[in-house]
Amino acid sequence: MTSYRLPGVVLTDHRFQVPLDHADPGGEQIELYAREAVASHQAGAQLPWLLYLQGGPGFGANRFTGKQQAWFGRALQDFRVLLVDQRGTGASTPANRQTLPLRGGPAEQAAYLGHFRSDSIVRDCELIRPQLTGGEPWTVLGQSFGGFCAVRYLSAAPEGLSAALITGGLPTLDGHADDVYRAAYPRIARKVAAHYKRYPQDIGRAREIAAHLQEHRPTLPGGYVLTVEAFQSLGILLGGGDGSHQLHHLLEDAFVPTPQGPQLSDAFLEQVHAALSFAGHPLYALIHESIYGQDTRPTAWAAERVRAEFPAFDAGAEGPLAFTGESIHPWHFEVDPALRPLRETAELLAARTDWPQLYDTARLAANEVPVAAAVYHDDMYVDVDDSLRTARSIRGLRTWVTDEFEHDGLRAGGPRVLDRLLALVRDEI
């Protein structure tokens, strides 16, 4: 273990060996990295633990650089915090285009990635918990996909939890990926309409950029091919509290005059590349739809198939260009060099028909763990109706439904969201 300090915080690095397949605990092991954080003035105190599970899938835990960032300082008032890089992310054993060929071909890679869903993540957490807490249960804070993991935790190992706090992450318990995206596209359309209402000048700009891309298909630094469909996927920004403003500022200076006429600026292309590339989080693209897989039906590129039911999202449709949101498509594995070598692997994952069940509805109905969930009223990423149905299925769960925040309320709201959830599980309000 290595310990070091930030202003007001003591950090300790932990590395654990966990089974790739928890059904075979003596088999292949992978490494799990986690960062412990405690307020400096409480470094030697016996504090309860809070386990933070990042959204995703495919993202490592936050790297906080100061005590006052987002929810972090509020958590440090009461807890010793563990920031886990879920398997395959961050400083844990990586899973990407460079490392996956070590597994073999696409079939072996797909089989390996079948162990990277929330069921395995929860087993990882339960394996390391006794090593850190001495066997005591801990509080879990799950953001977005981290909330999906928290619901799996309540289904599979509630004895490991003293409380569960969920933000923007109550999943459908039994819905197929098709159902998820069939509900998602109308929400995305509302966010796009609201953006154009706020910034009507972007209607023409977006169309101008799309027309330019249709003709030129520029290749960005590193080999990313910027197609119209890829440009439309910048709509993922609209799910955040300041995302509409980010998108507008990106579009407003897209073109520069050149001897060959107006061209997309290097600055614009660089920002687009940073927003769209999966180089830093390839697991997000590879296993995104599999987080909904629970029965014999394959996910089968659900977002792509369901998109055909909403022709307004076609680039050639009349009216303002429709941006898309949190969805993964086969073309991602053609335009992005970080994903291109993994196309066959992704196809095999999309075709899989034997995903294990993730949620135990009987156990959730008998839940005794205090649970509170922030449900964002028009969350672009997670359907509010699904969230509320799930909330009613978990005994004792208390919801806070709010339109004050978008999906990133835990970050954007500073300490307020965590403060509210803690008050709910402690019956203070």
Is-contact 312 322, C-beta < 8 A? Answer: yes
- Alpha-carbon distance of 425 to 170, in angstroms, equals 16
* Amino acid, res. 234: L
Of the candidates 144, 155, 233, 387, the residue annotated as catalytic is: 144
Tracing tokens 């769209």 back to the chain, one arrives at 276
CB atoms < 10 A from the CB of 134, how many?
9
The DSSP letter of residue 44 is: T
Of the candidates 176, 202, 407, 408, the residue annotated as catalytic is: 407
Q: Which residues contact 77 (CB under 8 A, 6 or more apart)?
A: 39
- Write out the two tokens for 65: 């650089």
- Write out the two tokens for 349: 């994952």
Of the candidates 24, 354, 385, 427, the residue annotated as catalytic is: 354
Q: Is 407 a catalytic residue?
A: yes
Q: Is 244 a catalytic residue?
A: no
Kindly write down the DSSP assignment for every residue of 115-156, as one continuous string.
Answer: T-SHHHHHHHHHHHHHHHHTT--EEEEEETHHHHHHHHHHHH
Bond from prior residue into 57 cis (ω within 30 degrees of 0):
yes
Is-contact 339 97, C-beta < 8 A? Answer: yes
The DSSP letter of residue 62 is: P
Q: Could you give the 3-state DSSP secondary structure of residue 39? A: strand
List Cα–Cα distances, 106 to 100, 241, 343, 347, in angstroms: 9, 38, 8, 9
The H-or-E segment that residue 346 falls in is: helix 343-351
Is-contact 327 184, C-beta < 8 A? Answer: yes
Q: Is 377 a catalytic residue?
A: no
- Alpha-carbon distance of 406 to 379, in angstroms, equals 6
- Write out the two tokens for 109: 């890679």
With b for 16 or more beta-carbon neighbours within 10 A and e for fewer, the 261-284 pattern comes to eebbeeebbebbbeebbbeebbbb
Q: Which residues contact 342 (CB under 8 A, 6 or more apart)?
A: 97, 100, 106, 109, 282, 286, 333
Which residue numbers are catalytic?
144, 354, 407
